[in-house]
Amino acid sequence: MKPLQGVRIVSVEQFGAAPYGTMLLADLGAEVIKVENAAIGGDPARKTGPYLLGTNDSEYYQAFNINKKSVAIDLRSAEGKAALTKLVATADALVNNLRGDLPAKMGLDYKTLSSVNPKLVCVHVSAYGRDNERASWPGYDYLMQAESGLMHLTGEPEGPPSRLGAPSIIDQTTGLTAAVGLLSAVIQARTTGKGCDVDTCLLDVALHQLGYVATWYLNEGLASMRQPRSAHYSVAPVQTFPTSDGWIFIMCMTDKFWGELLAAIGRTDLAADPRFATQPLRQANREALMGIIDGELKRESTAFWLDKLNGVLPIAPVLDLAQALDSPFLKATEMIQTVSHPAKPTMRVLANPIKIDGERLAQTPCSPYGADTASYVGEMRATERAGQR
């Protein structure tokens, strides 16, 4: 039995942020009923290429929607509003990732729906929030990376600002944040009998990822800058290093690991070098230190250093995407699973990163567009019209 079995979530969602969060909950056993816009033929992600699955599905879409049910509803129609009311009457939570000004206008907030279901938790995932001058603004992941300062901190010091390499990192961390808020509020509602509104937004989550560099600036006025070779802001040596045939990342976060590195490269003499005697000094003299370590590590291959240092100090190879996903370690840990999709019977997907009692969580593709409408709310004329487009 999965831990969230018995939890019912209705989600008015599209693209990345909310779908990622509700997918995590669906993997954990929640019944997630995805409400797709019948007026436009469903979540636009279904038609996002280049790899389509039949006529109204795609690999992109499935990456955010595993284990969900699909109902097609036009929420702007009277019929659609009645259908949503029927769904939320028995739900624990209603999620949306609409523009911040739309939930109240469309009746998707707790104030509107508490009379239907007093225990309902209404989760709002927007770009900038619902309670400020930007509530009506549309927004996407990359815009938040730009405005939060994350792009300014990413890349080489002399290069242009760059977004993070992960294609939807702010969407996904926002979805995860929303999932935590949802579960917390559902626990409270089951205790008190009263639901509530839960809000999170892309910009707030992006800013929260600044972590300690934000704390440093807010309290000390220190504006951190891009570091060479993805180096740590205050600890050295913690960065990428070249080998004879590639790159590795080494993290000497403690004096113990610093000593292990010196022993491995045959330079224990550096322990007595006054430039590198303490962690602050190693950081202050990082450029000189980097040149010395570079020279030693370039003498051997990546495989040599991994064989010598794995389990001794924190080290990892810098892999390209194919190398990362083809790693035998992923097969050993079952991090990649195969699911049967009607258009691709052996579709490979990433497993949920959570294990329960040591087991990976079972996964199945999201239902075809609108396939579950009749079983949840009955036949919908809007669904039929959308299907004829």
pLDDT in tens, 99-127: 999 999 999 999 999 999 999 999 999 99
3-state secondary structure of 84: helix
Q: Tell me: the pLDDT tens digits for 15-65?
A: 999 999 999 999 999 999 999 999 999 999 999 999 999 999 999 999 999
Q: Angle at which helices 169-192 and 141-148 pack, to 10 degrees?
A: 100
d(CA 210, CA 147): 12
Q: Among 310, 222, 236, which residue's Cα sits nearest to residue 270?
A: 236
From first CA to last CA, the distance across the chain in angstroms is 40
Instruction: Return the pLDDT at 379.
Output: 74
Strands 315-317 and 336-341: unpaired
Q: Where are the beta strands (DSSP E) in 191-296?
A: 196-201, 238-242, 247-251
* DSSP class of 338: E
Kindly report the length of the chain: 389
Alpha carbon distance 268, 262 (integer Å): 5
What is the reported pLDDT for 1? 85
- The secondary structure of 105-138 as a DSSP string is HTT-SHHHHTTT-TT-EEEEEESS-SSSTTTT--
pLDDT the model gives residue 386 = 42
How confident is the model over 210-241, as pLDDT tens digits? 999 999 999 999 999 999 999 999 999 999 99
Spatial distance between the Cα atoms of 1 and 139, rounded to a whole number of angstroms: 38
Could you give the domains of the chain?
A: 8-208+357-387 (3.40.50.10540), 228-242+247-317 (3.30.1540.10)
How far is 238 from 337, CA to CA, in rounded Å? Answer: 33
Distances (CA, A) of 262 to 236, 237, 300, 388: 13, 11, 15, 69
Tens-digit pLDDT profile for residues 258-295: 999 999 999 999 999 999 999 999 999 999 999 999 99
pLDDT at 387 > cutoff 60: no
Q: What is the pLDDT of residues 303-329, one digit of tens each?
A: 999 999 999 999 999 999 999 999 999
Cα–Cα nearest to 257, from 311, 303, 319: 311
Give the rounded distance of the alpha carbon of 306 from its chain centre.
29
The per-residue pLDDT for 380 is 66
Q: Quick one: angle between helices 255-264 and 302-309, nearest 10?
A: 130
pLDDT greater than 90 at residue 72: yes
Q: Is residue 68 scored above 90 in pLDDT? A: yes
pLDDT of residue 245: 98
Rg (C-alpha) for the chain, rounded Å, is: 25
Write down the pLDDT at residue 82: 97
147 token code pair: 């405005």
Closest by Cα among 183, 35, 202 to 126: 202
| Overall average pLDDT of the 339-360 stretch | 97
pLDDT digits (tens, 9 = 90+) for 161-181: 999 999 999 999 999 999 999
How far from 14 is each of 19, 65, 94, 176, 193, CA to CA, in Å? Answer: 6, 10, 14, 15, 30
Strand 196-201 and strand 121-126: the pairing is parallel
Predicted pLDDT of residue 385: 42
pTM: 0.94
Q: What token pair was written down for 42?
A: 């469903």
